[in-house]
Amino acid sequence: MTTLLQIKSSLNGENGQSTVLSNQFVERWKAENPDGEVIVRDLAANPVPHLDGERFNAFLTPAEKRSSAEQKIVDYSDELIREIKAADLVTIGLPMYNFGIPSTLKAYFDHIARSGVTFRYTAEGPQGLLPNIPVYIIAARGGLYAGTQADSQTGYMQTFLSFIGLSDTRFIYAEGLAMGDDGKAKALEQARQSIDEAVAA
């Protein structure tokens, strides 16, 4: 059975444009894969704690030396990692906030980036340890940023995901959503068409 992991990161929940488009991706995928399983990780409804010294040190502490509180932190991280390892593909709904990714998504990334678990350093440099499955990133933006220096998301997402082994990143953009109703409608329609084409491929 094929498994899709859907990650939602819009602070507007189900009303966020990235979530709406991500949900369309899931619905289209389910139509193509009726026996497939969808796992939903909603970072607005169930935010991952932001990384602090206590959590970071828990990740670094050897298992036999962890306190019960530290082990609980590691167990939570392990759950997130098991979730993504179980997936055959991932879709991420990605809004742009102040030229960056949502802080909740960054917190999620901080909990799945674990040395010796999802990446390791070798004499040739870092090596990602997760299976290289497709990651469809649906980026919803108020302005026009793709291909410009103001697009801090695309390069970051590619770099981070590749670092943990997920180098097959595929972007679908919905841009100019705050630049008038006509532009918004056109951008959303183009994004929906791109989603249909991506799932059908």
Domain parsing of the chain, residue ranges? 3-200
Is 76 labelled as part of a ligand binding site?
no
Instruction: Please name the amino acid found at residue 90.
Output: V
Sheet containing strand 135-140, strands side by side: 37-42, 3-8, 89-95, 135-140, 169-174
Q: Where do the H-state alpha helices sit in the chain?
A: 17-32, 53-60, 68-85, 103-112, 152-163, 181-200
In the CATH scheme, what is the code of domain 3-200?
3.40.50.360
Residue 158: CB atoms within 10 A of its CB come to 16
What pLDDT, on a 0 to 100 scale, did the predictor assign at position 201? 82
Is 194 labelled as part of a ligand binding site?
no
What pLDDT, on a 0 to 100 scale, did the predictor assign at position 1? 82
Q: Give the residue ranges of the chain where pLDDT is below 50.
A: none
Is 98 labelled as part of a ligand binding site?
yes
Is 10 labelled as part of a ligand binding site?
yes
